[in-house]
Amino acid sequence: MNILFMLPLQAAPQQGSVLPTILMFGAIILVMWLFMIRPQRKQQKELAEFRNALKKGDKVVTVGGIYGEIVEVSEKTVLIKVDGDVKLRVDKQGLVKDYSETAQK
């Protein structure tokens, strides 16, 4: 028996336009860029500007939540005064926030 007789005959599915699919993928990429990538880049840029503008006397917070005042700034590290005579040398990448304005209020 021939195998072709056993298979039901079906019409080939009609090809639709590819344009709606391409537009949908484009819209998804646009939404991801607007709501995820763009804000993250903006935040990274602001953080880099903050770290480059550090100067002696700024009050900062580290990633670990340590509050201190900058005593010395070098190319990659800063020396912060934590309490009394306690000083810590931390990498600039570990500083996340300036609290000089809020500390004075």
Assign 8 a pLDDT band (cuts: 50, 70, 90): low
**DSSP annotation of 4:** G
Half-sphere exposure of 57 (CA within 13 A, CB side): 2
Tokens of 42: 């903006």
Q: Give the helix, strand, coil percentages of the chain, each rounded to 5.
A: 45, 25, 30
In CATH, what class is 55-105? mainly beta
Looking at 12-16, 37-41, 93-97, 101-105, which range is the least confident one? 101-105
Domain ranges of the chain: 17-53, 55-105
Please compute the mean of the pLDDT values over residues 64-72 and round it to a whole number.
93
Q: In which band, very low, low, confident or very high, does the pLDDT at 97 lie, cut at 50, 70 and 90? A: confident
Between residues 79 and 12, the one the model is more confident about: 79
Predicted local distance difference test score (pLDDT) of residue 41? 94
Among candidates 74, 81, 84, which has minimal Cα distance to 54? Answer: 74
pLDDT band at 71 (very low <50, low <70, confident <90, very high): very high
